[in-house]
Structure 1
Amino acid sequence: MSDQRPNNAAQAQPVDPAPSAKSNAAAAPPSPTSAATPPSTSSKGQTSTLGPEAIAAQLSTLKSSAKGLSSSDAAQRLSQYGPNAIEAKEEPLWHKLFGYFWGPIPWMIEAAALISLLRADWADFAVVMGLLLYNAAVGFWQDAKAASALAALKKDLALKARALRDGAWVSVDAATVVPGDIIDVPGGAIVPADLLLISGDYLSVDQAALTGESLPVSKKVGDSAYSGSIAKQGDMQGVVTATGNNTFFGRTAKLVASAGSQSHSQKAVVQIGDFLILLAAILAAVLVGVQVYREIIVPDQWNWATAGSILQFVLVLLVASVPVALPAVMSVTLALGALALSKQKAIVSRLSAIDELAGVDVLCSDKTGTLTQNKLTLAAPIVFNNAQAQEVILAAALATQSSSEDAIDQAVLKGVTDASHLSQYKQTHFTPFDPVNKRTIATVTDSTGKAWQFAKGAPQAIAALCKLDANTETAYDSKVHELASHGYRALGAASSDDGGNSWKLLGILPLLDPPRTDAKETIANTKELGLQVKMVTGDDVAIGAEIATQLGMGANLLVASDVFPKGTDAAHIPQTSITAVEKADGFGRVFPEHKYEIVKALQQGGHIVAMTGDGVNDSPALKQADCGIAVSGATDAARNAAALILTAPGLSTIVNAITESRQIFERINSYVYYRIAMTIAIMVVVVLSSVIFNIQPLTAIMIVVLALLDDIPIMTIAYDRVSPAKKPVRWEMHHILVFSILMGVMATAQSFGLVLIGMEWISNPTLQAWIPLDASHLQTALFLQLAAGGHMLLFVVRTRRSIFRPLYPSWQLFLAVVATQIVAVLLCAAGVLVTPLPWTLIGLVWAYVLVWTVLTDAVKLAYYRYGPPARTEAPGLHAPIAASA
């Protein structure tokens, strides 16, 4: 930790009513307790959060106590308050597993399986159940990977603590620490619980992972230290004020447990399933009504065989209505997309992130280490009293211990252009930084043996040391405030050659964490993709505004606590807050509750939100965001809560990931068009054929084989050539259903047209003399037509252009389709699972399909030219609409 704490940009900002214990005089981010939720009740029925006044009233373990808690008292409190551990109710494994068999598409598959079972159609039953189990296995595996965020949070808690028990300092398990315990926190230790510091001279705490502050914070008596933060230097004692889930750290874990939302692709699949269920129910009612009238009412007789035949028709319709491979194909396509993203240095931990990233229209980015280099750098010194710039830097360096690893000290030492100048001085005495004096003083001797003293520290502390005259003080304060307004941290430097009786002001050292070299270009590229980037930082707004201005993000940063006052309900954020969040360029003084609320506010405004982060404090927001992004070097908690993990520093990887995800979205969209259209066609053809001609045009096993033939090769759509959208895209179900129904009508006309031709063929002696045809041959011909027409339809819907113009299908997709069609032709020619067809008839079916493909393509072009515009792009930031899926 540094032996000084420079003044920062916060001086130019209003002082927060609950500032943290920063060692400088500037206003700092609000204490986490100021934004925390009220003390909650433990599982034992008692509060496990004690305020300082309650502690003083109830306990004799504050400063005046030399014994701490007794062992018996500690045991009683442990029973009363519960263990100092994060407790979370996890959904039982059986309940999670049951969820994969509950929903529109699983219901349809299960109904088809039940009818197959009742009719003892074991082949149909086995195939349908196999697909059901496969879909459940894929979903269960993906969700299991996302359940480790809380476990990662727990890993960061201290395992041991040094507590004052029965008058002696003893090492105890951190889980047994209770409110009222006196805890010793030496440098290097993890703070085991929320503490009120009551004794000790100095403690430097790194709480960046909790609060987002870019530098360690100096603590003094009366300040709070938070569970999970790391003591860097010093040694202080504190009384425990909160344990377990009621600590600041624990509340973060609670937010992680409660965060999360259903992905838009999941909602789209549910809506597709709902639509197909409704259509299937209507068609089933028509089919059953006609069959009951035809088979039972007219003959006026009932028997189980007749009921079984009607059930057989319903089975075929149900199997036809179920897009059995839809979840599996989407999962595999997303998985292949995830592999492509991994080559772009983006690891996908939740497949839905790909879909969400394509639709993101607001990116909330952490500042430190993501937009900046996380490395303090000296700017040109501001000199006083005719000092030279290097003289100011050298003086500050001489007032620093060379072994210090503090970021500020390192920046000062690196600012010395010639290290040999330091070797000309020998440090004989060093006065370390303390929170009261806010400066360091070093006594050194030069090469002639003369003694000098050098000081550095907060500007106001150096000014007081030098006893400035009125004019110099005015100029000095003006420079400090000017630096603060531009986001710089200011460090004063002074020297004395008379033993410290009088001090000479040398100047001010401006310090700034500079932007990454690629950050400005990345922000510009991100804006070109239609996203607004908002900075979210734990530092003060002035620091963030300076960086944001340099990067072209806009300087309208708000204090998070002003937008979300204490007590804000994240489930019902006021419209005023939502509007403020939408218009802001970023936020300063941000804490976990704020990040979470920022994401919720944007989502309530109809936006799809990506949030970057790297610390424990980011975990709730990362999980709640539509696409949480853990940046390079993130903690385990952040990585496990995120859906996307970047392995390269900075945001440039996100630009590549967005482009890739939009290409994947286009591929999946093409598949959905095709799948809905073909499902409609098969269902309607089955009903029309049954109602009009009283024939079963397809068997259940044919429909299942069709699903496999159509969908397995289409998994190669992940390699298809597509043009990514220039703006964020959405699941626009209105357009999807309208266009899919139009294509379904064309596919229905094609298939039922073949049925009509086939029925005429069967009754025409001339055609029968040429090629004999019966109902079973017609079933095979329809099977072949659907297999071929389905893939031709995919080629039609995959592009808004004519299928005869680029972009042509990728070779992987094209060869997969060709191979599948060869298999389908061979099945029909050899009579495997179907009645064999002569080669002449196979050729006629293919010619018929090709003619209809050209007609369907013409209808598609007319729709895109004259039909309603497709609103698949995300809304503008200030005119949000709710995502339709």
Structure 2
Amino acid sequence: MPINVTQASIETPAHALSGTEVLTAFNSRESGLSPHEANAARERFGPNKIPAAKRKPAVIRFLAHFNNVLIYILLVAGMLKAVNRDWVDFWVIIAVAVVNAAIGYIQEGQAEKAISGIRDMLSLHATVLHDGLWQEIDAEYLVPGDVVRFGPGDKIPADIRILTAQRLKIDESMLTGESEPAEKNTDNVGANAGIGDRTNIAHSGTVVTQGNGTGVVYATGANTEIGHIQDLVDSTDDLKTPLTAQLDNLGTRFAQAILGVSLILLFLGRVIHDMAPSSLLSNILSFAVATVPEGLPALVTITLALGVQQMATHNAITRKMGAVETLGAVTTICSDKTGTLTRNEMTALAAITPSARYEISGTGFGRAGDVTPAGPTTDPEGVAELARIISLCNDAVLRENGEMWSVVGEPTEAALAIFSDKQGFDSSGIERTASIPFDSAHKFMAVRVANPGGGTDDVLLKGAPDVLFSRCTTQRAADGEGKVSFDLAFWESQVDSLASQGMRVLAAARCPASSFHTNIEFEDVANSLELVGLIGLIDPPRAEAIEAIAICHEAGIAVKMITGDHVETAKAISRQLNLRPDGEPVAVTGAEIEKMSRSQLAEHVVDIDVFARTSPEHKIRIVDALQSHDQVVAMTGDGANDAPALTRADVGIAMGIKGTEATKEAADMVLADDNFATIEKAVAEGRRIYDNIIKSVVFMLPTSIGQGLIVLFAMIFGWDAPLAPTQILWVNLITAVTLSVALAFEPAEEGIMNRNPRGRKARLLAPWLWIRIMWISVLIAAATMGAYYALNHAGVDTVIARTTAVTVLVVAQMFVLINSRFLYHSSLNLHALTGNNVLWISSGSLLTLHLLFVYAPFMNTLFDSTGLGFAEWGIAVGAALVIFLIVEVIKASQNRFYANKHR
């Protein structure tokens, strides 16, 4: 796109200009802007953010909450009441529907704010050059003129004119529709070139798939190419989830049942009892309104939104609300090793040359430490050359910070750079002229280094031992003079020795650079390398990861470690992590996976604990194999190539610290701390949230069904109705406002991680829960009807009897709410009275509103209620207490069977 006149004083498109010309246009230079210049530019151009997409009008969003079959029933009932001129009933029905919509509208707004806030936590980062020093900043602070760099998996943070490109390919499918990544270079293109032909431009939002590069920002925010595509602006998740669909289906079945029973009541009332049409219509509408669980639609949104916020406080940033419910059903967690199961504080401990072994003292990023021989044999020239290669073939930057190094770069590269510093190597004055960046596909890094003394340049490599071994034909001679044939058996034994101690092993090699070109080509390092030595590094397991794995085992969740490390290293770490408590962990390598057919891998995958020397492509096969056993799989990843596996998994988990932007985009959840223990906590939180949804349904349905049964039996037997239609509506209204959301705040039930995961095909409500719901419904209906008819039979005024019946119904709901706090444990303990302050606030609010119903004169007139004495309150509390105790007996008998079956 043309450079905007508000961003530069020229109109020529950036892709038609040289990189130097774009730098000049923004008063920048190859060393980047100074911090002062960047701040001044930020004041001028504003933040690098695309304006938020326009939301639907508030009225439309509010009316959308009436789009539910259960609410339709209420609205039809209200219209029929209006036709019948029952205005009090009409307005109360409308009030119930409006209040329910208002609750859903408010809570949906809270959910969207939660998702928006969490996306802010996932803000894109960029590596920018300020006054010649690379630093990482939030992409929001980028300005035109900034020089940035990018590599595999990075999401391009702004529109950038490429200055340098090394094997650079970028996925531009979001802009061009082309599935193949576009090759990029620094050459100028014509001013009229389309997006797909701008080979020297990296567009905002696209993803680097290969190679690396640098460039100068020329457009930010709304001025970027993606800023002009409004369809790509709004990334808010749809709040619909699979669980929402299940509840919608439940609501539809309720509506069908209500309509079916209403037709039966129409027949009974007209044919059997010869009821007057107006009375018959009133009773049928009372049944329909009483049975509708109108609070159900908003239930999941409220609970999931709260869960998303709660998870974020524990460093588990949920990008998709549906992942919250899925987490609770996870049966297998496939986790990367480095930084997730381990501390990601790499330390080089051993160096091996062809003739000597050295020990490296010091830990972490501390500056103290020495490189000393581990035996009588020494090889000072060999270890010095090893330090040279490791230092130059490295992108980490060390900065003095007292007794510690301040590090910019990967922990492994930082540990290698610290080793080179301890060895005394000084890289100043040595020029790196070209490089092949590390990529998980080829598992090595290579750099071309100018020879300070003249002559042929060197190509230096570091990478996975097996990869470099396959390319080596020679090694340094033991005496340091010349080369000898490569001794594969010797070096493999050294790798095994280091790996058996839990060390990660890297190899270092070299070869003369080609004289035919100045870059590095893969064919330059295809073979004929000279191996220089090995480095052994240790990354100890996280103590909290060991504990979290033990908790997962208790919860019936298998944990599998996936790593690119040597198999012996992986097994040593897995033993420390106690991945298989009852024996030696079973490990396979990527090479062995390659030899397995799909059915063979599926046959063995459940019994494998460690997958070593794997590539990201293997992760997809592992996920598929596990899912063939109906496993619900959570998969972690950090590299760009991990994105397909994260998408394929039931829950894709990206690393927030070391993960690429491409991985985060593909993930359902991002770990802000890259810690496995956070996954375990998130699974526990997912189980808690799912439990709370079930608890809320188990609480809500008996109230609706119980009210329906009251009206149903009264009509079947031709009795006076215990509750007036307006009274039923009043109970529904105050319950929706108060008690319906209380259980969303419930803490985790004791032993939540001591039971097996729910099955992939598990129903929303198990049959034993339906039995409990029906028992509670019958008990509520029986208590309410019993109170009314007993008082009526005793000659008590009908108004008093009905007000008492309503009070029984309200107080019984409060006691059933306490029953519902625990699905799998008894509520007959003090814990049932503590731990959820919202429950008591809701109950207090309900009781306050009901006292108005009973004693306020205007409410008495509106709802045909009256004041009650101690005797009537005693009946209500006594009946509710009996219901509470009977429900606890039912729970105890059910849980004895359920616990034995599912432990």
TM bucket (normalised to shorter chain) is 0.5 to 0.7
Partner of 2:315: 345
CA distance in 2, matches of 1:154, 1:405: 16
CA distance in 1, matches of 2:624, 2:102: 34
Partner of 2:209: 229
Would the aligned equivalents of 1:393 and 1:415 in 2 still touch at CA under 8 Å?
A: no
Q: Does 1:185 align with 2:155?
A: no
TM-score normalised to structure 1 length: 0.64
Q: Does 1:760 align with 2:793?
A: yes
Would the aligned equivalents of 1:596 and 1:620 in 2 still touch at CA under 8 Å?
A: yes
CA distance in 1, matches of 2:729, 2:180: 67
1:338-390: CA deviation from partner (whole Å, max 9, x where unpaired): 44433323344444544433332322324444234556543412343356553
Change (3 A) 1:495 1:511: farther
Given the alignment, which residue of 557, 565, 589 partners 1:531?
557
Alpha-carbon deviation of 1:600? Answer: 6.1
Q: Which runs of 5+ in 1 are unaligned?
A: 1-89, 164-171, 198-205, 211-225, 236-253, 300-305, 446-451, 497-502, 567-573, 877-885
Q: Does 1:314 align with 2:284?
A: yes
Partner of 2:150: none
CA distance in 2, matches of 1:576, 1:872: 35
SS at match of 2:831: coil
Alpha-carbon deviation of 1:491? Answer: 1.6
Partner of 2:814: 791
- Give the letter for the 1:533 counterpart: V
- Give the letter for the 1:397 counterpart: A
Alpha-carbon deviation of 1:735? Answer: 2.0
Q: Does 1:749 align with 2:782?
A: yes
Q: Which has the higher contact order (CA 8 A, sep 6+)?
A: 1
Change (3 A) 1:579 1:268: farther
CA distance in 2, matches of 1:101, 1:130: 8
Alpha-carbon deviation of 1:870? Answer: 6.0
Partner of 2:699: 674
Given the alignment, which residue of 507, 511, 517 partners 1:491?
507
SS at match of 1:232: strand
Alpha-carbon deviation of 1:514? Answer: 5.6
1:71-108: CA deviation from partner (whole Å, max 9, x where unpaired): xxxxxxxxxxxxxxxxxxx9x99999999766654554
Would the aligned equivalents of 1:546 and 1:555 in 2 still touch at CA under 8 Å?
A: no
Alpha-carbon deviation of 1:824? Answer: 0.4
1:653-687: CA deviation from partner (whole Å, max 9, x where unpaired): 23333444444444443332221222221110011
Q: Which moved more, 1:662-671 or 1:827-836?
A: 662-671
Change (3 A) 1:465 1:117: farther
Alpha-carbon deviation of 1:650? Answer: 1.0
Change (3 A) 1:540 1:143: farther
Partner of 2:146: none
Alpha-carbon deviation of 1:745? Answer: 1.8
SS at match of 1:756: helix
Partner of 1:422: 425
Would the aligned equivalents of 2:703 and 2:780 in 1 still touch at CA under 8 Å?
A: yes
Identity, % of aligned positions: 20
Matches of residues 469-480 of structure 1 in structure 2 within 5 Å? 474-480=489-495
Partner of 1:45: none
Given the alignment, which residue of 858, 868, 875 partners 1:839?
868
Alpha-carbon deviation of 1:703? Answer: 2.7
CA distance in 1, matches of 2:174, 2:703: 61
Matches of residues 250-269 of structure 1 in structure 2 within 5 Å? 263=241, 265-266=243-244, 268-269=246-247
Matches of residues 446-525 of structure 1 in structure 2 within 5 Å? 457=462, 458-459=468-469, 464-466=474-476, 474-480=489-495, 488-492=504-508, 507-511=533-537, 515-516=541-542, 518-525=544-551
Change (3 A) 1:733 1:611: same
Partner of 2:24: none
Partner of 2:402: none
Change (3 A) 1:363 1:478: closer
Q: Does 1:727 align with 2:755?
A: yes
Partner of 1:245: none
Partner of 1:72: none
Partner of 1:859: 886
Alpha-carbon deviation of 1:487? Answer: 7.9
Partner of 2:16: none
CA distance in 2, matches of 1:346, 1:708: 36
RMSD over aligned CA atoms reads 5.6
Matches of residues 647-686 of structure 1 in structure 2 within 5 Å? 647-686=672-711
1:386-407: CA deviation from partner (whole Å, max 9, x where unpaired): 5655345432223456695155
Given the alignment, which residue of 839, 861, 873 partners 1:813?
839
- Give the letter for the 2:328 counterpart: A
CA distance in 1, matches of 2:65, 2:647: 21
1:26-47: CA deviation from partner (whole Å, max 9, x where unpaired): xxxxxxxxxxxxxxxxxxxxxx
Partner of 2:587: 556
CA distance in 2, matches of 1:806, 1:737: 27
Alpha-carbon deviation of 1:707? Answer: 2.4
Partner of 1:54: none
Change (3 A) 1:401 1:346: closer
Partner of 1:411: 415
Q: Which runs of 5+ in 2 are unaligned?
A: 1-52, 125-152, 164-171, 188-193, 216-231, 360-370, 372-379, 397-409, 437-441, 463-467, 478-482, 513-528, 580-584, 759-763
SS at match of 1:228: strand
CA distance in 2, matches of 1:621, 1:100: 36
Change (3 A) 1:644 1:712: farther
Change (3 A) 1:193 1:598: farther
Would the aligned equivalents of 1:441 and 1:454 in 2 still touch at CA under 8 Å?
A: yes
SS at match of 2:559: strand
Alpha-carbon deviation of 1:609? Answer: 3.6
Change (3 A) 1:865 1:577: same
Alpha-carbon deviation of 1:181? Answer: 11
CA distance in 1, matches of 2:626, 2:83: 50
- Give the letter for the 2:873 counterpart: W
Alpha-carbon deviation of 1:123? Answer: 0.9
Change (3 A) 1:418 1:137: same
CA distance in 2, matches of 1:129, 1:437: 64
CA distance in 1, matches of 2:783, 2:646: 48
Would the aligned equivalents of 2:804 and 2:873 in 1 still touch at CA under 8 Å?
A: no
CA distance in 1, matches of 2:671, 2:445: 42
Q: Does 1:849 align with 2:876?
A: yes
CA distance in 2, matches of 1:159, 1:441: 31
TM-score normalised to structure 2 length: 0.63
CA distance in 1, matches of 2:686, 2:245: 18
Matches of residues 362-441 of structure 1 in structure 2 within 5 Å? 362-373=332-343, 377-386=347-356, 388=358, 390=371, 391=380, 392-399=382-389, 404-405=394-395, 410-416=414-420, 418=422, 421-422=424-425
Alpha-carbon deviation of 1:517? Answer: 5.6
1:201-226: CA deviation from partner (whole Å, max 9, x where unpaired): xxxxx9xxx9xxxxxxxxxxxxxxx9
| Paired positions, count | 694
Change (3 A) 1:623 1:847: farther
Alpha-carbon deviation of 1:790? Answer: 0.9
Alpha-carbon deviation of 1:414? Answer: 0.8
Would the aligned equivalents of 2:445 and 2:461 in 1 still touch at CA under 8 Å?
A: no
Matches of residues 281-292 of structure 1 in structure 2 within 5 Å? 281-292=259-270
CA distance in 2, matches of 1:607, 1:789: 41
Partner of 1:323: 293
Alpha-carbon deviation of 1:688? Answer: 0.9
Alpha-carbon deviation of 1:525? Answer: 3.3
CA distance in 2, matches of 1:433, 1:154: 18
Matches of residues 155-166 of structure 1 in structure 2 within 5 Å? 156=156, 159=159
Change (3 A) 1:411 1:97: same
CA distance in 1, matches of 2:647, 2:510: 48
Partner of 1:123: 91
SS at match of 1:509: strand
Would the aligned equivalents of 2:476 and 2:532 in 1 still touch at CA under 8 Å?
A: no
